[in-house]
Structure 1
Amino acid sequence: MERYVVLILSYILGSIPFSLIVTRIKGINLREVGSGNIGATNVARTGNKCLAALALLLDSLKGFIAVYIAQQFLSDGDFYIYLSAILAVLGHMFPIWLKFSGGKGVATTLGMLIAFNIPVALVFMFAWVVVFLIFRYSSLASLASITAAAFASFFFQKELFLALLTVTILIFLKHHRNIVNLLQGKEYKFL
């Protein structure tokens, strides 16, 4: 019973739309900004870097806290700990409160990685920063970072690999429009 409570809480925690909440407090309707996405990248498009950093922190904390709670209540290496991480990311992507229309799960994945494995999280962050600085596309940086992290997890923590592979597929699917835009040269570029 305990594991199911943890799983439900992971999804609910992941589904809290922090980016939408913090921008609404500032009088901004995030659905009317940039891509209309409720992630930290779209908060950055408002021009408020502090708000974007806060959104990134809060969205990352969702993944971290979901894994941390699961680790406290479930035994080490338990399949359900990894499932709780996936559910937190799914909660961000498909929040029940927003008719299942959420963000892309990248920041929540970062938080989950920090809870599971710091070296893999560092690979994720390094890949994101390098790709973003070179190409100036947040979507491309996100896709590169999750791919690099999945690859790294295979060497650093094999148990994490399958969970991260699942999240990687989900993130690629959520970025389908961005991928098309990148291929057509229409993707939004940060200058």
Structure 2
Amino acid sequence: MEYILVLGSYLIGSIPFGLVLGKLAGIDVRGAGSGNIGATNVARLAGKKLGVLTLACDALKAILPMLAAAWLLENSGQRELWVALCGGAAFLGHLYPLYLRFKGGKGVATALGIFLYLEPAAALIGMLLFVGVVYNWGYVSLGSLTVALLMPGLVWLLSGSVSNSLLAFGIGALIWLKHRDNIERLMKHEEKSWRKKDSGSNSA
């Protein structure tokens, strides 16, 4: 049962909602802007409404499998661990989707869904930090990287859960890995700013 739930979480996480919603609007988001299937690129290319809808769908594809796992494993002594693993599997599905030959997004919205379920207070603090960084510096990628760096500590301080903290650490490391091009551009002062409404590639 547990392994089936983890596999199902990965398959659900692999659903490329940004690509699907973009195509419904007549746009292949992989061929324009940053080429990313995440909410930021969808918002740039297809409008803020579809961007917000993409963000919500990408978050829900982590939340719903975790809710299902928590319900089905209600009496399991390792319930917390398996719920965390289902969240991690959904996250990996978004980053490396089976349906797109393992070429996916950067995982920020899916990570948000995971932490909204596991530790809502940490997720709220993370969102406030993200908004603050993007407002002050204009870089979505910088906001994403900042929150990814701090989230493991926030989860540990607020929950004390080892499994959830390790999950946060792994998610943060993968988000940084997926943003390596953005990091290079930030260091060279070549990253595109959201304020300038560029179609460049600072998508989260």
TM-score range, shorter chain: over 0.9
Map 1:73-88; keep pairs closer than 5 Å.
Answer: 73-74=72-73, 75=76, 77-88=79-90
Q: What is the CA-CA distance between 1:147 and the residue it aligns to?
A: 2.0
Contact 1:33–1:45 (CA under 8 A) maintained in structure 2 = no
Map 1:49-60; keep pairs closer than 5 Å.
Answer: 49-60=48-59
Of structures 1 and 2, the one with the larger relative CO (CA 8 A, separation 6+) is 2
- Secondary structure of 1:83's aligned partner: helix
Q: Which residue number in structure 2 is paired with residue 187 of structure 1?
A: 191
Q: What is the CA-CA distance between 1:78 and the residue it aligns to?
A: 3.3
Are residues 1:135 and 2:137 paired? yes
User: 1:116, 1:78 → 2: CA distance?
Assistant: 9
Contact 2:148–2:176 (CA under 8 A) maintained in structure 1 = no
Map 1:39-188; keep pairs closer than 5 Å.
Answer: 39-46=38-45, 48-74=47-73, 75=76, 77-159=79-161, 160-188=164-192
Q: Percent of aligned positions with the same letter in both sequences?
A: 37
When residues 53 and 33 of structure 1 are mapped into structure 2, their CA distance, relative to the original with a 3 A threshold, is same
Equivalent AA in structure 2 for residue 126 of structure 1: L
Q: Which residue number in structure 2 is paired with residue 18 of structure 1?
A: 17
Q: What is the CA-CA distance between 1:19 and the residue it aligns to?
A: 0.5
- Secondary structure of 1:173's aligned partner: helix
Range moving further from structure 2, 82-91 or 63-72: 63-72
When residues 14 and 171 of structure 1 are mapped into structure 2, their CA distance, relative to the original with a 3 A threshold, is same
Contact 1:127–1:148 (CA under 8 A) maintained in structure 2 = no
- Secondary structure of 2:26's aligned partner: coil
When residues 47 and 78 of structure 1 are mapped into structure 2, their CA distance, relative to the original with a 3 A threshold, is closer
CA deviation map 1:28-68 (0-9, x unaligned): 11011211011111112215010101101111111111211
Equivalent AA in structure 2 for residue 95 of structure 1: P
* Structure 1 unaligned spans of 5+: none
Contact 2:22–2:46 (CA under 8 A) maintained in structure 1 = no
Relative to the length of structure 2, the TM-score reads 0.90
Aligned residues: 190
User: 2:134, 2:66 → 1: CA distance?
Assistant: 27
* Structure 2 unaligned spans of 5+: 196-204
CA deviation map 1:148-190 (0-9, x unaligned): 2222111112321111101111111111111111101111211
Contact 2:151–2:169 (CA under 8 A) maintained in structure 1 = no
